[in-house]
Amino acid sequence: MRFVVGLTCHECGTRYEPKASYVCSECFGPLEVSYDYDAIRGVMTRDVIESRPPSIWRYKELLPVVEPRTGFHSGFTPLVRATRLARELGVSELYIKDDSVNHPTFSYKDRVVSVAATKAVELGFPVFGCASTGNLAGSVAAHAARLGMQCYVFIPHDLEPNKILGAAIYRPHVIAVEGNYDDVNRLCTEIADRYGWGFANINLRAYYAEGAKSMGFEIVEQLGWRYPDHIVSPVAGGTLLPRIYKGLREFREVGLVSGTLPRIHAAQPAGSAPVVKALEAGLDFPEPVKPNTIAKSLAIGNPADGFQVVKVVKDTGGAGAMATDAEIIDAIQLLARTEGIFTEPAGGTTLAVAKILVQRGIIKPHESVVVCITGNGYKTAEIMRDYVEPPVTIGRKLSDFERVVAPQTVSA
Ligand X SMILES: *Cc1c(COP(=O)(O)O)cnc(C)c1O
Q: For binding to ligand X (CB under 6 A), which residues are involved?
A: 107-109, 135, 234-240, 297, 344, 346, 374-375
Q: Kind of pairing, strands 31-35 and 79-81? A: unpaired
Min dist CB 322 to ligand X, Å, is: 14
* Helix-, strand-, coil-residue percentages of the chain, each rounded to 5: 45, 15, 40
Q: Which is nearer to Zn ion, 9 or 341 (CB)?
A: 9
Instruction: Determine whether 28 is exposed, middle or buried from the number of CB atoms within 10 Å of its CB (0-12, 13-18, 19+).
Output: exposed
- Closest-approach residue to ligand X (CB): 375
Q: Residue 133: which of 231, 272, 287 has the closest Cα? A: 272
Near Zn ion by CB under 5 A: residue from 2, 26, 36, 280? 26
Residue 75 site contact among ligand X, Zn ion, none (CB < 5 to 8 Å, cut-off depends on kind): none
Min dist CB 86 to ligand X, Å, is: 22
Residue 48 site contact among Zn ion, ligand X, none (CB < 5 to 8 Å, cut-off depends on kind): none
Q: How far does Cα 238 stand from its chain's mean position?
A: 9
CB atoms within 10 A of CB 156: 22
Residue 44 site contact among ligand X, Zn ion, none (CB < 5 to 8 Å, cut-off depends on kind): none
Element (H, E) at 222: helix 205-222
Distance CA 50, CA 222 (A): 10
Residue 27 site contact among ligand X, Zn ion, none (CB < 5 to 8 Å, cut-off depends on kind): Zn ion
Min dist CB 371 to ligand X, Å, is: 12
| 7 binds Zn ion, rule: CB under 5 A | no
Residue 184 site contact among ligand X, Zn ion, none (CB < 5 to 8 Å, cut-off depends on kind): none
| 6 binds Zn ion, rule: CB under 5 A | no
Near Zn ion by CB under 5 A: residue from 7, 9, 341, 373? 9
Q: Residue 32: which of 263, 215, 238 has the closest Cα? A: 238
Q: Which is nearer to ligand X, 37 or 105 (CB)?
A: 105
Q: Kind of pairing, strands 263-269 and 320-323? A: parallel
Residues near Zn ion (CB under 5 A): 9, 11-12, 14, 24, 26-27, 29
